Amino acid sequence: MAMPEKQRGAVLIISLVLLVAMTLLGVASINSSTVNLRIVGNLQSQKDAESAAQEGVELVLNSANLFMNPPNSAFSESVSNNRTVVIEEVTCRSSVPAQGYSATMTLVPEDNTWRVTASHEDPDGASVRVQQGVRLRQLNGSCP
């Protein structure tokens, strides 16, 4: 068996370079996955806030009393998962006589357009404001 006269250590240098490259690749992928996880968490918080605000709007839309006597100021409603939604406004935007009724009728309903605005701020910092319009057929004079 012949022994090499001079060892240069090329294998050691190449393996160290490859080890450094693999370490950098591993650190980069960990950082990338951490950033992606934060992005997904923020999107989930935003969607939860949107869901809560929309649920608040739907609570208002299901309450006929709020359209008969709209509140003068903002109020809070509790929705699912112990979340609180602030109903900022319930206002009548326009009113037109309903179609298909005779002018000689004593009681002609109106088609009233209402705007409902709700907002929710998540404990994680996500906040959202939702506005929704709805047209309701109501008795004449229901739109203040």
β partners of residue 142: none
Give the pLDDT score at 25: 96
Give the pLDDT score at 39: 93
Say which residue, 94 or 1, is predicted with more confidence. 94
β partners of residue 89: 117
Distances from the Cα of 138 to the Cαs of 59, 77, 101, 115, in angstroms?
Answer: 19, 25, 13, 15
Give the pLDDT score at 2: 62
Give the pLDDT score at 17: 94
42: Cα within 13 Å, side-chain hemisphere = 6
Give the pLDDT score at 19: 95
The span from the CA of 116 to the CA of 128, in Å, is 14
CB atoms within 10 A of CB 138: 19
The span from the CA of 14 to the CA of 102, in Å, is 93
Note the helical H segments in 62-129.
Answer: 64-68
8-58 pLDDT per residue, tens: 778 888 999 999 999 999 999 999 999 999 999 889 888 988 998 999 889
Give the pLDDT score at 40: 93
CB atoms within 10 A of CB 120: 24
Give the pLDDT score at 100: 75
Confidence of residue 71 (pLDDT cuts 50, 70, 90): confident
**Max Cα–Cα distance, the chain, nearest Å:** 120
Are residues 94 and 86 in contact, defined by beta-carbon separation less than 8 angstroms?
no
Take residue 136 and report the two structure tokens written for it: 């309701």
108-133 pLDDT per residue, tens: 788 889 899 999 988 878 889 999 99
Say which residue, 42 or 65, is predicted with more confidence. 42
